[in-house]
Amino acid sequence: HPDSTAVIGAGIAGLACARSLADAGRPVTVFEKGRGPGGRMSSRHLTGAVVELGAQYFSVRDADFGEQVATWQRAGVVAPWPAVVWRLTTGRPSRRSDDRPRFTGTPRMSALLRHLAGDLPLHTATRIVALENADDGWRLISEAGTRHGLFATVVLALPAPQAEALVAPHDADLAEACRGIPQRACWAGWARFDAPLPPLPGLATDWQVLELAEGPLRLVTRNQTKPGREAQGESLTLLARLDWSERRLEEDAGSVSARLLDALQAALPEGVTLPMPRHSGAHRWRFAQPAALPGSGFPDFRQGESGLALCGDAWRDARVEDAWLSGHRLGRALACRPPIPHATEIP
């Protein structure tokens, strides 16, 4: 169809964009290199546990996003979590004082993304390696050599460096905008234990999230305290600081995982010993979050003259809410254009 849109990337931004277009009756097809939707909100299945290695939870500031989250809550795919964020400073715990509502996907983060994908046409395990500009629209070339199209519009809902590689041969302005948003990297560790963690002095025994003020780790979450996961055993996510991660970006996952567990042990009060994990590992996010942001006064997305457009957290801020807003608003803007009639519909 001459009016159709291709969305590359089935993270929350790409799916929000595709959903806005589909809700307006516009034809849209989504392409994702991973095995399923999710991106930086995908979940990892271990034996006996599911852990999140990307976003652990998200907050709500914007009214439109708040309405969307309420709809997801009614559909049973998000729930409030955590109740309290604890902070550990030189071994001393304190409660984080803001009372902003926070949510997570239930029974896992990827359930929200699957709900959003719904019945949208979605090609998974399809990495797009090039775009081809034909007279009558765009074609997408996959790594396997398949050509998809034609599409009037191509949305790149990707971290800026990945979008840049695809737009550079076709749109110098969009490529330049992408170069202005380099990405930071983050190592995310996980560990599953047979026994619960020992109680930490000053913290409730059922603590859910711990921010660490110093050392290699910045956040520790307990996945079994997330709504819908109560049956799984002690299973931690350990997020490293970005500068620490970047210094060890090319280290192997096994040694990074061991370092992150050592860092947790070192941060715990004296006399508290971590049990031995049954399984542990680490995931490297090369493109974890934008290093710079476009700043206020810019739109929430970018549109080129050529029929290419960009959305995602790079164009607003490094959060789930911002990625959703960027994609949703681009989808609404694209849906407002007058529909292009199919050749056979032209009188």
Interface residues with ligand FAD (CB under 6 A) are 8-14, 31-34, 38-41, 54-58, 127-128, 157-159, 162, 186, 188, 239, 285, 288-289, 312-313, 318-321, 323
Question: Smallest gap, in angstroms, from Cβ of residue 15 to ligand FAD?
Answer: 7
Nearer to ligand FAD, 26 or 241 (CB): 241
Nearer to ligand FAD, 267 or 320 (CB): 320
Question: Smallest gap, in angstroms, from Cβ of residue 318 to ligand FAD?
Answer: 5
What is d(CA 176, CA 179) in angstroms, rounded to the nearest whole number?
A: 5
Question: Smallest gap, in angstroms, from Cβ of residue 273 to ligand FAD?
Answer: 27
Question: Smallest gap, in angstroms, from Cβ of residue 2 to ligand FAD?
Answer: 23
Nearer to ligand FAD, 219 or 340 (CB): 219
Nearer to ligand FAD, 51 or 267 (CB): 51
Question: Smallest gap, in angstroms, from Cβ of residue 37 to ligand FAD?
Answer: 7
Nearer to ligand FAD, 30 or 335 (CB): 30
